[in-house]
Amino acid sequence: MRTAWVIARNTFGDALRKRILLIFLLLSFVMLVLALALNYFTAREQGYIFKSTGLMIVLIFGALISITTAVFLIPNEMERRTIYSVLSKPIQRWEFFLGKFLGGALTVGFMVGLMSFALMLVLTVLAIKPPTSSVDMNQTQAAFNAADWLARAGKDILLVLRGTLVIYFQLVIVTAIATTLSLFLTPTVNFSMTAFIWIVGSLQFIVAALANRNKESFVLIPWLAKGFYYLLPHFHDFNIMGSIISPQVEVKVNHWQYAATVSAYGVAYAGLWLLVGIMVFDRKEV
């Protein structure tokens, strides 16, 4: 495991140099600024739109970053032939594979962390001003209250942290899928395939509906949908936007407990893909 960590650290250092990841990161910042502008033009309560849009930006750019990173993790090693000098050292193949994945997951974590930090920063600034709908004129004109500000900012930061945690574990699955598929597919095909899995996984509620329809004219569709439903990850379970957009709706669920549960599911599901990857890589000729 120690060796896997050595590989992971090196992979992280290597991945951070990739210009395309930095471009995605910059684009996500630009999108956050645009979302902030949108926030001022909406009639709804200020902040809610920005929080949900902000987390959606983190998710989409996080997915782009994780797929782009993972599809090249092992093919690049083979193309540049750096893999020869590493695998000829006393290192188990599973350690190398796991190390590459962990390096990718570390990179995604770092990038998602930066995007979330930017989101939290903006929300902290926004929290200076109390939400417009829940405020009366007296409050608006009242003197600036630092304790209130910090309380509002703290609440927003916790919400973003919870959202980031759930998004990150969703992306851990995406990274595991792309890393494993990179053993069979070219980076371009792998990018499309992983993106397809991510999209279908995010729309599993539609897939479930298709799987349960018996009157379908084309008999293959329910079977195909059932296959997708049981095999592909349930990314829609990672969607916590509802609790942000509609905070007034009472739910009898502990949000943090829910986040921990889906995160555990993310680790377990990613683990299964990694297991397949390790078995394949063990006999892969390089």
Partner 1 sequence: MADAIRVEGLTKKFFQKGEVIAVDRLTLKVEEGEIFGFLGPNGAGKTTTIKMLLGLIFPDEGTAEVLGHPAGDIEMRRLVSYLPENPYFYDHLTGGELLDFYGRLFNLDARVRTKRVDELMTLVGLRNDKAKQLKQYSKGMMQRIGIAQALINDPKVLIFDEPTSGLDPVAHIEIRNLIESLREQGKTVFLSSHQLSDVELVCDRISIMNYGKLVKMGRVDELLAEGRTEITAVNVSAEAAGKIRAIAGNEVSENGRFVAICPNEQVVGDVVDLIRGGKGTLISVIPLKRTLEQIFVETIGAAGQPGRRIGTMNELTKGNAK
Answer yes or no whether residue 250 interacts with partner 1 by CB under 8 A: no
Distance of closest approach, residue 106 Cβ to partner 1, in angstroms: 15
Answer yes or no whether residue 14 interacts with partner 1 by CB under 8 A: yes
Query: Closer to partner 1 at the Cβ: 238 or 281?
Result: 281
- Output the six-digit token pair for 176: 């595991």
Helix (H/G/I), strand (E/B), else coil: 246: coil
Answer yes or no whether residue 1 interacts with partner 1 by CB under 8 A: no
Cβ–Cβ contacts within 10 Å for residue 152, how many? 20
Answer yes or no whether residue 252 interacts with partner 1 by CB under 8 A: no
Torsion sign, CA atoms 23, 48, 205, 221? negative
Answer yes or no whether residue 6 interacts with partner 1 by CB under 8 A: yes
Q: Tell me the per-residue interface mask from 32 to 71 with partner 1, x by CB under 8 A, - otherwise.
A: ----------------------------------------
Q: Tell me the per-residue interface mask from 255 to 284 with partner 1, x by CB under 8 A, - otherwise.
A: ----------------------------x-
Query: Closer to partner 1 at the Cβ: 1 or 146?
Result: 1
- Output the six-digit token pair for 219: 């008999």
Answer yes or no whether residue 80 interacts with partner 1 by CB under 8 A: yes
Q: Exposed e or buried b for every residue in 80-109, given b needs 16+ CB within 10 A?
A: eeebeebeeeeeeebbbbbbbbbbbbbbbb
Answer yes or no whether residue 285 interacts with partner 1 by CB under 8 A: yes
Answer yes or no whether residue 85 interacts with partner 1 by CB under 8 A: yes
Answer yes or no whether residue 81 interacts with partner 1 by CB under 8 A: yes
- Output the six-digit token pair for 19: 């210009």
Cα angle: 210, vertex 214, 217; to 5 degrees: 85
Distance, CA of 133 to CA of 252 (rounded, Å):
25
Cβ–Cβ contacts within 10 Å for residue 135, how many? 13
User: 169, 152 in Cβ contact below 8 A?
Assistant: no
Q: Tell me the per-residue interface mask from 88 to 107 with partner 1, x by CB under 8 A, - otherwise.
A: xxxxx---------------
Stretch of 76-84, 101-109, 137-145, 253-261 contacting partner 1, by CB under 8 A? 76-84
Distance, CA of 22 to CA of 60 (rounded, Å):
15
Cα angle: 199, vertex 238, 280; to 5 degrees: 60
Answer yes or no whether residue 84 interacts with partner 1 by CB under 8 A: yes
Q: Which residues bind partner 1 (CB under 8 A)?
A: 2-3, 6, 10, 13-14, 17, 80-82, 84-92, 283, 285-286
